[in-house]
Structure formats: structure tokens, C-alpha cells
Amino acid sequence: MKYSGSEATPKILVVDDRPENLLAIKYALVGLDANIITAGSGNEALSLSLVNDFAVVLLDVQMPEMDGFEVATLLRENEGGEDQPIIFVSAYGGDSAHLSQGYSVGAVDYLTKPIDPVILRSKVSVFLELNRSRKQLEEQNA
């Protein structure tokens, strides 16, 4: 697992079994005001989710041992994970069965590989802003 940034900023979890994909996504997100945490497996992602509050999770679908659908299902079962925004990252196109399965386990969106950095940054920025707004409301209500 790799960390970048400070604890005061929102966190993004990027999950992919291929280091080059993690690097490409991390590079595309450079400049956003967020900690970018990477995980190379579903099990690592689940461990990280137990001790971190993520503004958004970018989750590869095709991984060995545990695919993204299984990881998303287990993330949703964690306390506080039911509202965790998950964007699936997939090499599959618009296969409706594949998309339906992802949305049924809690995906809020899909990105197809190769990832367009402009689209990725735009989508992630929305969830970072929502996370900041949610935290401000929680602080005001406390």
C-alpha cells in the first residue's frame, strides 16, 4: 500500500492488480487535493477500508483471487461502507450484463480502459467535493 498527501485531505482508493494501471491512474489524478492510496489486490483494499474513510474508490473489475464485484460487495458490508462511492474501472465495453452486475453491487459509475484522464479527473472531483461538503456538515452538526 502506498500513501501520498496529508491526513487533512480526502482520500481516494485506487485498486488494481497491475502496477502500471495504478501508476497511470495515480498520475492522472496528480494535482487534485486528495490523498491517493493504492492497493494491488482486493484483500489489500478491504484492509485499507477498515482504517480509512475514502471519498471514492476506483476499483478494477478483473483481478485474480477476488474480482471487483466481490470486493465491492464486501466493502458495502463494512460499517459505513454502504454509502462508499465506487467507480468500476473495466476493459469491458458497454456489455449490459456486466454493467448491471456492477451497479447491483453498488457501483456509482464505470470507466473503461484505456482511461481518459480528463474524464477520470472530472468524475473523481465530484466525489471529492461531495466528501468535503459531507464532512463540513458533520462538523457543523457536532
Percentage, residues of the chain above pLDDT 70:
92
Q: In what order do the strands lie in the sheet with 107-112?
A: 35-39, 11-15, 54-60, 86-90, 107-112
DSSP state of 116: -
Residue 114 or residue 92, greater confidence: 114
pLDDT in tens, 34-50: 999 999 999 999 999 99
Architecture of the domain spanning 11-141: 3-Layer(aba) Sandwich (3.40)
Q: Is the pTM of this model over 0.85?
A: yes
pLDDT at 25: 96
